[in-house]
A and B are shown apart, each in its own frame.
Chain A
Amino acid sequence: MSDEQIPGKGQEPEQAVEVEQVPAEQRASGADVPPPPAANRILREIASSSWLLSLLAIVIALVIGSILIAWTDPAVQKAAGYFFSRPADTFKAIWEAIAGAYTSLFQGAIYNPKRGDFINAIKPLTETLTFATPLIAAGLGVALTFRVGMFNIGGRGQILIAAAAAGWVSWSFELPPFLHILFATLAALIGGAVWAGIAGVLKARTGAHEVILTIMLNYVAYYLISYLLKTPGALQAPGSNTPKSPPALESAIFPTLSDLIGVGSYRVNLGFILAILATVWLWYLLNRSSMGFRFRAVGENPHAARTAGISVKSTYVLAMVLSGALLGLAGASQVLGTTTTGFAAGVDAGIGFDAITVALLGRSRPWGVFFSGLLFGALKAGGYTMQASEGIPIDIVLVVQSVIVLLIAAPPLVRAVFRLPSPDATATVRPAKATAKKVVTK
């Protein structure tokens, strides 16, 4: 009896302290502002945890990837059949499977000495940059909405609409090279911005949740583009029966690195420069401009932002529009950079969903997104090589990617796996709760 009563008594003062603390904090802030919604707080926590955790999450994900590779490898399965007579064979087979996979991943993503001279051997790195270009642009777009406390799951639809707009400009008009690229890219930005803007306006005007809106708009865009690609006179290539667009005119295509320096067959193009510029722009916007300040204020606590005189609704619309424009840039880099010979309805190549993982791994910071885009670009480029040379399906990249993001979204889990201490900084919100949790995890 007394044992049961002691923790009961011990808890009561703690709870009492907490109850008193909350109004005290509100009084200290000097206004009757309700606390931010949980979603905003969680998104902020994701953005503020340390780089070490990202690294550890990547390590765990690669280990899980290795387990999958070894488990499904025929040589390993064969050796495991006589594991108890010669266990060393199994370990050797596992080692060979995993080493082979990661070697080909590296050779596909960074540097392949088997390709001969340096110009050819370094080509995989440029492939990584090529794959990273749309991921970075799209990731920046998703990150921007995260910072405003919103989710843009509609990357697919925005990329498709942008690709259609850019594609249409790229083959319908004959313009001087520089102007043509400019107009086609602008068309993509506007296309993405309009499609995202629909969701933004509906959220602001009717309070509908942007997650549902953007998911549904993805499918609307997909079927709309499918229809247009099947309709002669719209997006379908003239004289063709397949749902595919005409190729872009030469003057609208992003120049590649090889066009510039005259050697090799590098596919990395102007789009990568635009992605870097977009990163710099978003960094400036979020960290140095008053608009970015409003964005972040709404993301931290929309109630407080409204009290401070910021129009939350127009911030939502504006953030959505800018986010759509960044996803539009990803669409432009697809149809003007890599898929220039005409595109089908699958031109988005899953970038819209990859962008969410890129933004989460990059913790919604522009440069974080840039580097996580590079990492996922490398995984994609290497994944194709791994598929070709080792017979490991490219889908493993999706597994690795999603495990990384799941772990990053749950810092306590990674800390529990590696027995790291919980940082006190994040525990300021609810000290009693945090310590209680630590006891539970240990």
Chain B
Amino acid sequence: MTTTAPAPANAAPIVHEKALVRSWKTPIVLGVFALVGLLMAFVFPASGETTFGLSTERDAIQLAPLVVPTQATVVITSLLLVVAALGALAYVKFGKGHAPLWLSIVFAVLFLVTFLTWVAAGKTIPVPGMLVGTVALSVPLIFGALGGVVSERAGVVNIAIEGQLLFGAFSAAVVGSLTGSPWAGLFAAMVGAVLVSFVLAAFSIKYLVDQVIVGVVLNVLVTGLTSFFYSKVLTSDPAFNKPTKFEVLPIPLLSDIPILGPVLFRQTLIVYLMYIAVFLVWFGLFKTRWGLRVRAVGEHPTAADTVGISVNSTRFWNVSLAGAIVGIGGAYYTLDVVGQFGKEMTNGAGFIALAAVIFGRWDPIRATLAGLLFGFATNLQSVLGIIGSPVPSDFMLMLPYVVTIFAVAGLVGVSRGPAAAGKPYIKS
């Protein structure tokens, strides 16, 4: 206690230099897509009318289907796309150097309208059905991505999202069937996925095994275990695979909103949990002491350790928390959308969730949007398959992965993860 803080040699005020970095990538990408829009409008014009179905029979407020002339609409929206791209250009040139996120979202919606109108010339697109399908496919992706964000922000790379989803789905199916209670199933899904997380955390934190190796091997292990029990136990005794599903809980008033009401507010408990989870993870990570600690441990564990944060236990418990979040997503398969367990039923969703984490730049809100985008792309291919479209479905399914490759390669914005993710912390 005899040491005194040395007096600063020069007490001149520190002047923060603010470098203005102009990022041209957004306008370039938007420009390319605007060109595609112009191609659809003028080079490959489609004739006829496009019908957008806006209501289903169950809706309280019935909307008449929206019928638009295909060619005129495509021309107008593609010109709007050009305007939006030029707007992004102006933002970068004269504004803060970055095109705002909302502009990209507006552009994406406009582009979708253009594309759907063009592709469904002379046919009907059921808009509510398409959006409901999008949410159904996105829910596990979003839970997986949230778990991935928490785990990676704490400094542990989570390749095992796929395994956590699968084991969550399996546990929910078995426990939900045996107890007859979806609540018990949901709890079991969280516990099951946390168990996978425990292995990931124990091996990567205590035994310093490379996190990628543990993640990859855990996926194989969970696939093997669940497939083994599925073939050996669940198929021979169906009583193990008849979980009680969560019932749809329409929220009064909100569920009567046209189009969006049935999509967002006529869902099961798990979907409402997702809204809460997205908010809580965002709020927790960026507005609370817990979040600050998690991010410190993931970015600079040595500094975090110096100020008295226990790096390894923070990592351990947050990887476990991430498992619990992913587990809810797994339960969504067996307690909501599918209703029973199937062999390898997650079918790569964990890897799309991983892609959403990266494409969402390790941010809960952006990762959620990325999950929605990927869910939409996956759902769009089945809608297009039904109405018959010129774009092969395989390329729509490929989209999330290609987008992620572009994202990590820095071709579309820089995607940089937490600095210490993937590195075990060895206290010296």
Q: Is B217 an interface residue (CB 8 A)?
A: yes
Given contacts A39-B422, A212-B354, A360-B213, contact A398 B159 (CB under 8 A): no
A72 at the interface (CB under 8 A from B): yes
Q: Is A75 an interface position by the 8 A CB rule?
A: no
Nearest opposing residue in chain B for A391, CB measure: B232
Contact string, B199-234, partner A, CB cutoff 8 A, digits 1/0?
100010001111011101111110111011101110
A399 to B221, CA, bound (A): 5
Contacts of B213 in A (CB 8 A): 151, 356, 360, 405, 409
Cα A402 to Cα B395 in complex, Å, equals: 32
- What's the least CB distance linking A432 to chain B, in Å? 9
Enumerate chain A residues within 8 angstroms of B231, measured Cβ to Cβ: 393, 395
Minimum CB distance partner of A401 in chain B = B220
* Residue contact B408 to A42, C-beta cutoff 8 Å: no
A206 within 8 A of B: yes
Q: Is B354's CB under 8 angstroms from A220's CB?
A: no
A259 to chain B, nearest CB (A): 35
Query: Across the interface, do A216 and B355 meet the contact criterion of CB distance under 8 Å?
Result: yes
| Complex Cα gap A398–B394 (Å) | 29
Check A102 for interface membership: any CB of B closer than 8 A: no
A226 lies within 8 A of chain B by Cβ: yes
Given the complex of chains A and B, what is the CA–CA distance between A401 and B210 in angstroms? 18
Is there a chain B Cβ closer than 8 Å to A68's Cβ? yes
Closest Cβ neighbor of B425 among chain A residues: A38
Q: Is the CB of B210 within 8 A of A227?
A: no
Query: Are A392 and B232 neighbours in the complex by a CB distance under 8 Å?
Result: yes
Prevailing SS type, chain A contact patch: helix
Instruction: Tell me whether B203 and A410 are in contact (CB under 8 A).
Output: yes
Most buried by A among B199, B208, B401, B402: B401
Does B112 have its Cβ within 8 Å of any Cβ on chain A? no
Task: Let me know if B394 and A227 touch, CB within 8 A.
Answer: yes
Point out the residues of chain A lying under 8 angstroms from B220, CB to CB. 353, 357, 398, 401-402
Query: Is A213 on the interface with B (CB-CB < 8 A)?
Result: yes
Given contacts A38-B424, A153-B212, A413-B207, contact A219 B217 (CB under 8 A): no
How many angstroms between the C-alpha atoms of A274 and B410 in the bound complex?
Answer: 39
Collect the chain A residues with CB atoms within 8 Å of residue B365's CB: none
Interface size on B, residues (CB 8 A): 50
A409's closest neighbor in chain B, by CB?
B209
- The distance in angstroms between the C-alpha atoms of A433 and B124, with both chains bound, is 68
Does B426 reach chain A (CB closer than 8 Å)? yes
Cross-chain contact B228 with A217 (CB below 8 angstroms): no
Contact with B along A305-331 (1 / 0, CB 8 A): 000000000000000000000000000
Q: When the two chains form their complex, are residues A412 and B207 in contact, meaning their CB atoms are under 8 A apart? A: yes
Q: Check if A220 sits within 8 Å of B402, measured CB to CB.
A: yes
Query: Within the assembled complex, what's the spacing in Å between the Cα atoms of A413 and B159?
Result: 22
Give the distance to chain A from B229, nearest Cβ to Cβ, in Å. Answer: 7
Partner of A151, one of B212, B228, B351: B212
The answer to whether B221 and A406 touch across the interface, beta carbons within 8 angstroms, is: yes
CB-nearest residue of chain B to A433: B426
List residues of chain A with CB within 8 A of the CB of B401: 216-217, 219-220, 223
Contact B404 A357 (CB under 8 A): no
Mark out the residues of chain A between 203 and 242 whose CB falls within 8 Å of any chain B CB in the assembled complex. Answer: 205-209, 211-213, 215-217, 219-220, 223-224, 226-227, 230-231
Per-residue contact bits, chain B 110-130, to A (CB 8 Å; 1 contact, 0 not): 000000000000000000000
- Given A212-B408, A220-B402, A353-B216: A396 in contact with B228 (beta carbons within 8 A): yes
A72 pairs with B229, CB closer than 8 A = yes
Are A42's CB and B228's CB within 8 A? no
B224 touches A208 (CB 8 A): no
Min distance, Cβ B56 to any Cβ of chain A, angstroms = 31
Q: Indicate which residue in B157, B214, B224 contacts A398 across the interface (CB closer than 8 Å).
A: B224
Interface residues on A, range: 35 or more
A393 pairs with B405, CB closer than 8 A: no
CB distance from A252 to the nearest CB of B (A): 27
Q: Which of A354-369 contact B (CB under 8 A)?
A: 356-357, 360
* A223 touching B398, Cβ below 8 Å: yes
Binding site secondary structure of chain B: helix
- Interface check B358, CB cutoff 8 A: yes
* Any B CB within 8 A of the CB of A37: yes
CB distance from B270 to the nearest CB of A (A): 26
Q: How far is the CA of A402 from the CA of B231 in the complex (A)?
A: 19
Q: Is the CB of A18 within 8 A of B221?
A: no
CB contacts (< 8 Å) of B395 on chain A: these are 223, 227
| B409 is an interface residue with CB less than 8 A from chain A | yes
Residues of B within 8 A of A412 (CB): 207
Separation in Å of the B225 CB from the closest CB of chain A? Answer: 6
Interchain nearest-CB distance for B240 vs A (Å): 12
> What residues of chain A lie closer than 8 Å to B366, measured between beta carbons?
none
Q: Which of B207, B229, B348, B423 has the most CB of A within 10 A?
A: B207
**Which of B209, B400, B408, B428 contacts A410, CB < 8 Å?**
B209
Closest to A214 in B: B405
Q: Are A398 and B208 in contact (CB under 8 A)?
A: no
Q: How far does the Cβ of B343 sit from chain A's closest Cβ, in whole Å?
A: 8
Known: A208-B410, A216-B405. A410 touches B225 (CB 8 A): no
* B86 is an interface residue with CB less than 8 A from chain A: no
Q: How far is the CA of A68 from the CA of B230 in the complex (A)?
A: 13
A335 beta carbon closer than 8 Å to chain B: no
Which single member of A22, A151, A217 contacts B405 (CB below 8 Å)?
A: A217
B210 CB contacts on chain A under 8 angstroms: 39, 42-43, 409
Interface membership of A430, Cβ < 8 A: yes
Q: Kindly state whether residue B397 has any CB partner on chain A within 8 Å.
A: yes
For the complex, give the distance between the alpha carbons of A17 and B225 in Å: 47
In the bound complex, how far is the Cα of B110 from the Cα of A49, in angstroms?
Answer: 58
How many angstroms from the CA of A18 to the CA of B426 in the assembled complex?
A: 13
Return chain B residues, CB-CB under 8 Å to A353. 216, 219-220
Q: How far is the CB of A291 from chain B (nearest CB, A)?
A: 25
Q: Which residue of A lies closest to B348 (CB)?
A: A219
Evaluate contact between A395 and B397: CB separation under 8 angstroms: no
CB proximity of B224 to chain A, nearest CB, Å: 3
Q: Does B388 contact A (CB under 8 A)?
A: no
Q: Tell me which residues from 346 to 404 in chain B have a Cβ below 8 Å from any Cβ of chain A.
A: 348, 351, 354-355, 358, 392, 394-395, 397-398, 400-402, 404
Chain A residues whose CB sits within 8 angstroms of the CB of B233 once the complex forms: 72
Roughly how many angstroms separate A408 CA and B196 CA in the complex, as a whole number? Answer: 18
Extra inter-chain contacts (18) besides given A353-B216, A353-B220, A410-B203, CB under 8 Å: A42-B210, A209-B408, A212-B408, A215-B354, A216-B405, A217-B401, A220-B402, A223-B401, A226-B394, A231-B392, A357-B220, A395-B223, A396-B224, A402-B220, A402-B224, A405-B213, A406-B217, A406-B218
Task: List the 3 shortest-distance A-B pairs measured between CB atoms, nearest first.
Answer: A398-B224, A410-B207, A402-B221
Q: List 12 A-B contacts (CB under 8 A).
A: A22-B428, A38-B426, A42-B208, A151-B212, A216-B351, A216-B404, A220-B398, A226-B394, A353-B216, A401-B224, A403-B221, A410-B207
A interface list, Cβ under 8 A from B:
15, 18-19, 22, 37-39, 42-43, 68, 72, 151, 153, 202, 205-209, 211-213, 215-217, 219-220, 223-224, 226-227, 230-231, 353, 356-357, 360, 391-393, 395-399, 401-403, 405-406, 409-410, 412-413, 430, 433
